[in-house]
């Protein structure tokens, strides 16, 4: 069975308690369960991870690139949190590995502070889903499931 890797960046471990008026009451554990259910519906498994550390996320993307090349991974769902707007390292990791990445944001970043309007990841992402809450992860998994197998 193929896998989708779901990566969450800094402060997403605080979902459910961090600014619930903005991010809602859904916890990261809820998001992980939602992703596992969505993946199973496509005959996939979801490997869900979270880190507050940029280098860890880069390492996981490198690992994903190898798994994708081996045909064991459909791609990555990535909510990089604030690293979206600052991390050339994560963008370079995506570009360097060639793994398909769907960038996800729970909120509509374009309706928020100006600094959130720019993403270093969007130019290297296969697609972008913003503002649809946790359901954005479900849509990202469906998008990855629909990609043709790696040739």
Q: Active-site residue numbers?
A: 23, 105
Q: Is 126 known as a binding-site position?
A: no
Q: Is 61 known as a binding-site position?
A: no
Rounded to 5°, the CA angle 39-17-55 comes to 60
Distance (Å, whole) CA 101 – CA 126: 5
Q: Is 79 known as a binding-site position?
A: yes
Q: Is 85 known as a binding-site position?
A: yes
Q: Which two tokens stand for residue 60?
A: 């996981």
Q: 67: Cβ–Cβ under 8 A, 6 or more apart, which residues?
A: 3, 5, 73, 99
Q: Is 92 known as a binding-site position?
A: yes
Q: Is 116 known as a binding-site position?
A: yes
Distance (Å, whole) CA 35 – CA 107: 17
Which residue positions form the known binding site for substrate? 79, 85, 92, 106-107, 116
Which residue positions form the known binding site? 79, 85, 92, 106-107, 116
């Amino acid at each position: 069975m193929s896998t989708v890797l779901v990566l969450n960046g800094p402060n997403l471990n605080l979902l459910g308690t961090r600014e619930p008026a903005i991010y809602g009451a859904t916890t990261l554990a809820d998001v992980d369960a939602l992703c596992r259910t969505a993946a199973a519906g496509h005959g996939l498994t979801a490997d869900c991870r979270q880190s507050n550390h940029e280098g860890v996320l880069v390492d996981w993307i490198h690992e994903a690139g190898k798994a994708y090349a081996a045909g064991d991974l459909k791609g990555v769902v990535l909510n990089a949190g604030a690293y979206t707007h600052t991390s050339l390292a994560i963008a370079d990791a995506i570009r360097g590995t060639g793994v398909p990445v769907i960038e996800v944001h729970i909120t509509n970043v374009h309706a928020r502070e100006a600094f959130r309007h720019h993403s270093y990841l969007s130019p290297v992402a296969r697609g972008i889903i913003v503002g649809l809450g946790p359901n954005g992860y479900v849509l990202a998994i469906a998008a990855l499931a629909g990609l043709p197998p790696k040739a």
